[in-house]
Structure 1
Amino acid sequence: MNSDNILFDGHDEWGQVQVIEQGPQRLLCFGPSDEQSRIITKQPWVLQHEYTRAMMLALLFCQPKRALVLGVGGGCLISALAHVVKGIKMTGVELRPLVTEMALAHFRMPQSKRIDIVHQEAGAFLAAGEHKKVDLLFADLYGADSVDDVQLQSDFIDDAAALVKEQGMLVLNCWEEHRHHDGLKTALAAHFPHCHSCPTADGNLVILAGRTPLSASLSQLREQAQQLSSKLGYPLTDSLGRLEPWG
Structure 2
Amino acid sequence: MYKHEGQLIHQEHDEHGAIEIVETDGVRALHFGTDPRQSSMFMNAPDQLHSKYVRAMMAWLLFKEQPGNVLMIGVGGGLLSKYLLYQFPHCQIKAVEFRQAIVKIARRFFALPLDPRLKVKIADGAHYIKQQSQKMLEQHDLIIIDAFDDAGMADTMQGLNLFSACKTLLTDNGLLVINLWGTNKELFRQLSLEMGAVFNGRVLFLP
TM bucket by the smaller chain?
0.7 to 0.9
CA distance in 2 between counterparts of 1:171 and 1:21 reads 29
CA distance in 1 between counterparts of 2:152 and 2:16 reads 14
- Per the alignment, in what secondary structure is the counterpart of residue 112 of structure 2? coil
Unpaired runs of 5+ in structure 2? none
More moved, 9-18 vs 46-55: 46-55
Of residues 68, 86, 97 in structure 1, which corresponds to 2:89? 86
Mapping for residues 1-247 of structure 1, pairs under 5 Å: 4-62=6-64, 63-129=66-132, 130=135, 132-175=138-181, 177=185, 180-199=188-207
Q: Identity across aligned pairs (percent)? A: 25
Unpaired runs of 5+ in structure 1? 200-247
**Alpha-carbon contact 1:153-1:184 (below 8 Å) kept:** no
TM-score normalized with structure 1 length: 0.74
How many pairs align? 199
Deviations 1:17-74 (A, max 9, x none): 1111224221100013131010012322321211111110102211211111101100
CA distance in 1 between counterparts of 2:187 and 2:45 reads 33
Distance 1:178 1:142, change over 3 A: farther
Root mean square deviation, CA, Å: 2.1
- Per the alignment, in what secondary structure is the counterpart of residue 197 of structure 1? coil
**Alpha-carbon contact 1:3-1:23 (below 8 Å) kept:** no
CA distance in 1 between counterparts of 2:203 and 2:22 reads 36
What residue in structure 2 maps to residue 221 of structure 1?
Answer: none
**Alpha-carbon contact 1:154-1:184 (below 8 Å) kept:** no
Tell me the amino acid that sits aligned with residue 98 of structure 2: L
Tell me the amino acid that sits aligned with residue 74 of structure 1: G
CA distance in 2 between counterparts of 1:68 and 1:144 reads 23
Distance 1:187 1:34, change over 3 A: closer
- Per the alignment, in what secondary structure is the counterpart of residue 198 of structure 1? coil
Distance 1:57 1:187, change over 3 A: closer
More moved, 3-12 vs 149-158: 3-12
Residue 187 of structure 1 and its aligned partner are, at CA, apart by 4.1
User: Which segments of structure 1 move beyond 4 Å, counting only runs of 4 or more?
Assistant: none
- Per the alignment, in what secondary structure is the counterpart of residue 38 of structure 1? strand
